[in-house]
Amino acid sequence: MNDKLALPVGTTLDRFIMRKQEDFPFATGELSQLLRDIALAAKIVNREINRAGLIDVTGAYGQQNVQGEEQQKLDVIANIRFIRALRNGGEVCTIISEEEDEIIHTGNNKGRYIVAIDPLDGSSNIDVNVSIGTIFSIYRRLSESGEEGTMEDCLQNGTHQIAAGYIVYGSSTMLVYTTGHGVNGFTYEPSLGEFFLSHPNMTTPKTGTIYSCNEGGYNSFPEGIKNYLSFCKESGYSGRYIGSLVADFHRNLIKGGVYIYPATAKSPKGKLRLLYECNSLAFIAEQAGGKASDGTGRIMEIEPTELHQRSSLVIGSAEMVDKVEEFMKASVKAADTVTAN
Ligand code: P6P
């Protein structure tokens, strides 16, 4: 048969999930269904983002979220789309969303999963056509099935994640996820309405020459971060900062690099949220051979105490994250020495 006349279109996300199902310790198809629900919502949000200039979905929504940030219309739309898809899918009992003050009970009290999600990160970039993203983590509930999910279910540390991923709405739309067995990337083909496997077994370079940091906050950065940034400049590294975490993370994942958002005067505990930004990308980074730290220790081991708690974030190539931690340790040691004398 002359296959060249009709080349195969590739592996769809659905087929990939089904083939990998035996990797899931629970192998009941529920997690597969959950991942499909997320992919469905991503397709709908992608369509709305791509038409943003043509339909009235750009600009501010006119109120702030729990973070005190101006919600964009597409933040609200994406939040509705993902919550609805997860609620209708039936597998998720409770959701933590950046756009919701409190946890959301879906009514699926027999659902075995918890999802923490940033429905649309970097949304201030929508109106200027810069890449944005969705970030999610999936946990198994700790509480008994049949009841609503509990706060304990929601405040699990990052090592308890059973899956995590992101969608980057960029020059192409990609869904990248892990279930703890490596990282795989899927590119959306809008004419077919399918995600196709385009980046199997993604690994990130051990080191790189790209650093991503908003140096506008430099004057209030910790000394160790200032010293690391000087090291980058002396080493001839390139500064690349898009202002959309998912886009910066995705580029660094592929090319090698480190993203740094330290504590600043404006964000004394860091700006990024532990549950649905830091932990989600940390799981991906580690599964791809990279690292994720708060500058002093592994992000995924931080015990959450609040739904929307923030953290400093240093994430990307392992050796670059190690170097940042080295500079942070050295600066603390130097400060202790000065104090002691
Ligand atoms: P700044 C977007 O608001 C976000 O959460 C990340 O996507 C991005 O990396 C960061 O904040 C940008 O923050 O302070 O540099 O504008």
179 and 219 share a domain? no
Point out the domain boundary residue: 132, 167, 199. Answer: 199
Give, using CA atoms, the residue closest to atom 15 of ligand 1. Answer: 214
Q: Which atom of ligand 1 is nearest to the CA of 216?
A: 15
Whether 205 is in a domain gets the answer no
Question: CB within 6 Å of ligand 1 — which residues?
Answer: 121-122, 214, 243-245, 271-272
Distance 238 CA to ligand 1 centre (A): 19
Domain that holds residue 57: 8-199
169 and 256 share a domain? no
- Name the token pair of 292: 């994720």
Q: Give me the CATH number covering residue 214.
A: 3.40.190.80
Across the range 51-69, mean pLDDT stands at 72
Q: Give me the CATH number covering residue 158.
A: 3.30.540.10
Into how many domains does the chain fold? 2
Q: Considering only CA atoms, which of 75, 133, 81 is closest in space to residue 253?
A: 133
258 and 177 share a domain? no
Mutate to test the pocket of ligand 1, among 212, 258, 271, 313 (most ligand atoms within 8 A of CB): 271
318 and 226 share a domain? yes
Mutate to test the pocket of ligand 1, among 245, 250, 267 (most ligand atoms within 8 A of CB): 245
Distance 111 CA to ligand 1 centre (A): 33
Taking the C-alpha atoms of residue 27 and residue 6, their distance in angstroms, rounded to an integer, is 34
136 and 226 share a domain? no
Whether the per-residue pLDDT at 295 is higher than 80: the answer is: yes
- Strand order through the sheet with 104-105: 104-105, 92-97, 113-121, 132-140, 163-169, 173-178, 183-189, 194-199
34 and 171 share a domain? yes
pLDDT of residue 3: 75
Whether 258 is in a domain gets the answer yes
Across the range 329-337, mean pLDDT stands at 84
Taking the C-alpha atoms of residue 328 and residue 321, their distance in angstroms, rounded to an integer, is 11
Whether 33 is in a domain gets the answer yes
Q: Which atom of ligand 1 is nearest to the CA of 132?
A: 7
Point out the domain boundary residue: 170, 199, 228. Answer: 199
167 and 63 share a domain? yes
- Name the token pair of 280: 């989600």
Q: Is 143 known to sit in a ligand binding site?
A: no
Give the tens place of pLDDT for each residue, 228-286: 999 999 999 999 999 999 999 999 999 999 999 999 999 999 999 999 999 999 999 99
Distance 92 CA to ligand 1 centre (A): 28
Point out the domain boundary residue: 174, 199, 224. Answer: 199
pTM, two decimal places: 0.94
pLDDT of residue 25: 57
